[in-house]
């Protein structure tokens, strides 16, 4: 961007965050972000900085109110740049969910205060990885706490976007989504200009990344630093608060000895800083979903009530009003089947329908575990004044509606109107604005993280269905619940519709890994 283009972009973004942007400004912003990678980076940095300044200056209630339009604005630009939307919306959503996280000044650097709840995810692990005495599973969420990597290697992605790979015996403490202390071990840091800066604290120094890929080897006596991309700003711990920041640029290798504050040049080991985990395939990775339903087994136009199909269920589908019918082809191919709600021309009293079925193996939030729930959905154009809601609910069988309400004993994932995603976990309710095209098939994936000693959390991703098959777990999620303490035992699944139009749901499954649900249910 030249100076005049940057000034124009700055003017538009200022109007966006002030909620005064006109339609023509929105259109111009969309065009700029589609065409200019530098503008996209500037866009994210601008919103990121403005969010930090707002959270510093504003009281808690105001922060939660003002951030919602930003999420809506970010999501409205999905057509312009899917990458930017997912990254920015996740950041804004994460900050909106944690308004109590303040940014405070410390030695001239920004440092987050203690963060409650999860701040990072293990995205990869070797087959022999052991963390705190337990085998490591991909997808595990980590909160701000101390950890001991006893064997193997893990790749940790912070919610701000940066990744840290740890290999071999390593003791570390995650302090927040922007800070980690590593007492010993080998780490590889991977980040770029768009991710949040991560402060890596060692016994010898404090390291801050600047669009960086680097490696560090740390023990009680020395520290090696190998910078391949960007730069690292290093501050020595031995010189105390008076120490100046040393800028270690790309192409540099240095060794720091505990007895000597100075640096010794060493040969750059580029392979150390560019490696990734060699993850062996496991039976769990190769296994399919534990619960499936392609809704096959009856003729075209049949009703879902009484249908016995798929695997992992107890008994047939139950549908009191029996208003849901099965259609083929469904949502994933010529042989697929979907459940169709069709209330076109019906009165308001007839615009609701539901179907329920019992799970063979409950989802138990009182135990350590990870589950992925996925379904496909396609909705007709929105009618004026229509909620146009498609919802999948996990609940406990045997409870009345009043008891569910009293105990807050459900997980709800809903798409409503054509611009909203809703997630409810017990009494925690989170919404995000995410425009969805009519007659487009979407894959909705919910990741449920449960723990005995740690809080529980649900993450939801909404993506075009054709992007799901064979995909990897996303770096950023569309919407993330707050961390909640729960012992729910969910053993019933419901499909619920509230719409005066047509909504089809198909290809429902539950698995224990992303790869298990990122596959076709076609026979």
Question: Furthest-apart CA pair in the chain: how many Å?
Answer: 81
pTM of the complete model beyond 0.75: no
Token pair in block for residue 201:
């604290």
492: phi > 0 → left, psi -120 to 50 → alpha, else beta; which? beta
Asked whether residue 309 is domain-assigned, the answer is: yes
Cα–Cα distance for residue pair 205/178, rounded to 1 Å? 16
- 331 and 451 co-located in one domain: yes
- Looking at the fold, whether 339 and 246 belong to one and the same domain comes out as no
Among residues 179, 117, 171, 167, the alpha carbon closest in space to that of 142 is found at 117
Yes or no: say if 154 and 131 are a contact pair by the CB < 8 Å rule.
Answer: yes
As a whole number of Å, the end-to-end CA separation of the chain is 51
Q: Which of 109, 351, 336, 361 lies closest to 245, judged by CA?
A: 109
Q: Are 448 and 373 in contact (CB under 8 A)?
A: yes
Q: Please tell me whether residues 248 and 322 are part of one structural domain.
A: no
CATH of the domain at 353: 2.60.120.200
Q: How many domains does the chain have?
A: 3
How many Cβ atoms from other residues are within 10 Å of residue 439's Cβ? Answer: 9
- How far apart CA 493 and CA 310 sit, in angstroms, is 14
Last residue of a domain, one of 241, 274, 307: 274
71 with 115, same domain? no
Boundary (domain end) residue, out of 251, 274, 297: 274
Is the separation of the CB atoms in 389 and 415 below 8 Å?
Answer: yes
Q: Which residues contact 9 (CB under 8 A, 6 or more apart)?
A: 1, 29, 32, 39, 42, 43
Residues 267 and 287 both lie in one domain = no
- Residue 145 and residue 250 in one domain: yes
Structural domain of 390: 283-517
Rounded Cα distance between 308 and 253, Å, is: 63
Residue 19 lies in a domain: yes
* Residue 76 placed within a domain: yes
How far apart, in whole angstroms, are the C-alpha atoms of residue 506 and residue 374?
Answer: 9
Would 522 be classed as within a structural domain? Answer: no
Assess whether 174 and 239 both reside in one domain. Answer: yes
* Residues 88, 128 within the same domain: no
Q: In whole angstroms, what separates CA 317 from the centre of its chain?
A: 31
Instruction: Find out whether 172 and 199 touch, Cβ atoms under 8 Å.
Output: no
In a domain, 361, yes or no: yes
32 and 175 co-located in one domain = no
What is each CA distance from 480 to 96, 398, 461, in whole angstroms?
A: 10, 28, 9
Domain-embedded: residue 365 = yes
Cα–Cα dist 458/413, whole Å: 10
Q: pLDDT (tens digit, 0 to 9) for every residue of the chain, 523 residues total?
A: 676 777 788 888 888 877 677 878 887 888 888 777 778 767 766 765 665 454 433 333 322 323 334 443 443 443 333 333 333 343 334 433 443 333 333 333 333 333 357 889 998 899 899 999 989 888 889 989 999 999 999 999 898 888 999 988 899 999 988 899 998 889 999 887 677 888 999 998 999 988 789 999 998 888 999 999 999 999 988 766 666 788 999 999 999 987 766 788 999 998 888 877 754 434 444 568 999 999 987 776 788 999 999 999 999 999 976 679 999 999 998 889 999 999 988 888 788 999 999 999 999 999 888 999 999 999 999 988 899 999 999 999 888 878 887 888 899 999 999 899 999 998 889 999 989 999 999 999 999 999 888 889 999 999 999 999 988 888 788 999 998 988 899 999 999 999 999 999 999 999 998 989 999 886 6
CATH number of the domain bearing residue 245: 2.60.120.1440
Same domain, 96 and 116: no
Domain assignment present for residue 302? The answer is yes
Asked whether residue 523 is domain-assigned, the answer is no
Residue that finishes a domain, picked among 274, 303, 333: 274
> Which of helix, strand or coil describes residue 311?
strand
One domain, residues 225 and 295: no
Q: Are residues 270 and 289 in the same domain?
A: no
């Amino acid at each position: 961007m030249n100076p005049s283009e940057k000034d124009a972009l700055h003017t538009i973004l200022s109007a966006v965050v002030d909620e005064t942007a006109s339609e023509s400004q929105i259109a111009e912003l969309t065009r700029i972000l589609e065409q200019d990678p530098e503008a996209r980076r500037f866009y994210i940095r601008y919103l990121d900085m403005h969010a930090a300044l707002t959270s510093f200056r504003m009281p808690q209630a105001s922060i939660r109110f003002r951030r919602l339009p930003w999420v809506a604005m970010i999501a409205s630009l999905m057509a312009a740049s899917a990458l930017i939307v997912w990254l920015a919306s996740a950041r804004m959503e994460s900050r909106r969910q944690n308004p109590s996280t303040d940014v405070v000044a410390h030695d001239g650097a920004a440092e987050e205060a203690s963060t409650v709840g999860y701040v990072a995810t293990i995205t990869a692990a070797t087959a022999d990885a052991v963390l705190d005495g337990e085998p490591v599973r991909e997808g595990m969420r980590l909160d701000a706490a101390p950890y001991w990597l006893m064997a193997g290697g893990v790749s940790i992605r912070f919610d701000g976007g940066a990744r840290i790979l740890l290999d071999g015996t390593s003791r570390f403490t995650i302090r927040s989504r922007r800070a980690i202390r590593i007492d010993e071990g080998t780490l590889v840091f991977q980040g770029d200009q768009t991710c949040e800066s991560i402060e890596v604290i060692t016994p010898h120094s404090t390291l801050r990344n600047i669009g960086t890929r680097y490696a560090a080897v740390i023990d009680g006596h020395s520290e090696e630093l190998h910078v391949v991309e960007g730069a690292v700003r290093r501050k020595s711990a031995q010189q105390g608060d008076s120490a100046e920041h040393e800028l270690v640029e790309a192409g540099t290798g240095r060794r720091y000895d505990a007895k000597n504050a100075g640096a010794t040049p060493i040969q750059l080991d580029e392979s150390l800083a560019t490696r990734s985990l060699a993850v062996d395939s496991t039976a769990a990775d190769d296994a399919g979903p534990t619960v499936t339903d392609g809704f096959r087994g009856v003729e075209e136009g049949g009703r879902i009530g009484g249908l016995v199909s798929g695997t992992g269920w107890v008994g047939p589908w139950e549908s009191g009003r029996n208003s849901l019918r099965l259609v083929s082809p469904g949502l994933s191919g010529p042989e697929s089947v979907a459940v169709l709600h069709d209330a076109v021309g019906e009165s308001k009293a007839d615009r609701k329908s539901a179907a329920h079925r019992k799970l063979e193996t409950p989802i138990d939030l009182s135990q350590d575990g990870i589950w992925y729930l996925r379904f496909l959905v396609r909705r007709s154009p929105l009618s004026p004044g229509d909620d146009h809601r498609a919802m999948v609910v996990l609940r406990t069988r045997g409870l009345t509606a009043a008891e569910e309400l009293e105990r807050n004993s459900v997980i709800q994932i809903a798409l409503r109107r054509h611009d909203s995603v809703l997630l409810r976990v017990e009494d925690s309710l989170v919404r995000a604005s995410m425009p969805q095209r009519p007659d487009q098939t979407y894959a909705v994936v919910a990741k449920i993280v449960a723990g005995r000693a740690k809080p529980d959390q649900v993450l939801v991703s909404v993506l075009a269905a054709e992007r799901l098959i064979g995909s990897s777990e996303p770096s950023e999620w569309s919407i993330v619940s707050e961390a909640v303490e729960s012992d729910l035992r969910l053993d019933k699944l419901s499909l619920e519709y509230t719409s005066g139009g047509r909504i089809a749901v198909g290809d429902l499954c539950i698995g224990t890994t992303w790869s298990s649900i990122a596959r076709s249910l076609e026979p």
